[in-house]
Amino acid sequence: EAGVVQSPRYKIIEKKQPVAFWCNPISGHNTLYWYRQNLGQGPELLIRYENEEAVDDSQLPKDRFSAERLKGVDSTLKIQPAELGDSAVYLCASSEAGAKYFGPGTRLLVL
Amino acid sequence: GESVGLHLPTLSVQEGDNSIINCAYSNSASDYFIWYKQESGKGPQFIIDIRSNMDKRQGQRVTVLLNKTVKHLSLQIAATQPGDSAVYFCAETSGSARQLTFGSGTQLTVLP
């Protein structure tokens, strides 16, 4: 069974540039999450989707971050414009009930 | 605010020994707990979970213990192997919130 798929795995951009991350959750999982993980820390929730609806985006910096999950399956997370402090690993996770399963993450470096 | 924390940032054990990783949480409403293993360059990998109506749950080589009285969670790994070297996170959530709160992680190093 395929796990959560994310792309790209790595991204290096200059500050003020836009960047987008893509996630394909585990088949059948209605709940999708985007997390940000800084070095040496645990993941922090950015946004949670139930199907195509964003039900918890309270931690998403809405001035520069946006996300969508138009058909309730794949999701994209965008940052525009990126800042130096956005350098982190961006993790996507999905769940049906109970445990959340994470993708490998996208490692973003903003120069 | 509510938080989940780990007692020790690093833990080194000899191969073959048992490992115990501890975690304290402060949200008394937490009712579901998960242990994750994260290897370098990878996302967190689910290890084992436990609900608050239980105090012990066993998996393959791993056991999670929950003490709700003192808000303490532990992960026991039997016969620790080199492949167990990773950062281990405990995480908790409560009721319908479904927001998973992670601790800062414990780096487990298995010595040959």
The closest CB to that of B46, out of A6, A91, A101, belongs to A101
A-B C-beta contacts closer than 8 Å: 51
Per-residue pLDDT, B29: 87
pLDDT confidence tier of residue B11, bands split at 50, 70 and 90: very high
Model confidence pLDDT, tens digit, residues A43-64: 999 999 999 999 989 889 999 9
Per-residue pLDDT, B98: 65
Contacts of B105 in chain A (CB under 8 A): 40-42
Q: Do B43 and A31 touch (CB under 8 A)?
A: no
The closest CB to that of B44, out of A44, A56, A102, belongs to A102
d(C-alpha B23, C-alpha B38), whole Å: 16
Q: Which DSSP helix (H) or strand (E) runs through A34?
A: strand A31-37
Q: Do A105 and B32 touch (CB under 8 A)?
A: no
Q: Is A109 on the interface with B (CB under 8 A)?
A: no
Chain A residue closest in CA terms to B32: A98
Model confidence pLDDT, tens digit, residues A76-102: 999 999 999 999 999 999 998 777 899
What is the residue-wise DSSP string for B36-90?
Answer: EEE-TTS--EEEEEEETT-SEEE-SSEEEEEETTTTEEEEEESS--GGG-EEEEE
Contacts of B99 in chain A (CB under 8 A): 45, 48, 56
B15: pLDDT strictly greater than 70: yes
Over residues B52-75, mean pLDDT: 95
B91: pLDDT strictly greater than 80: yes
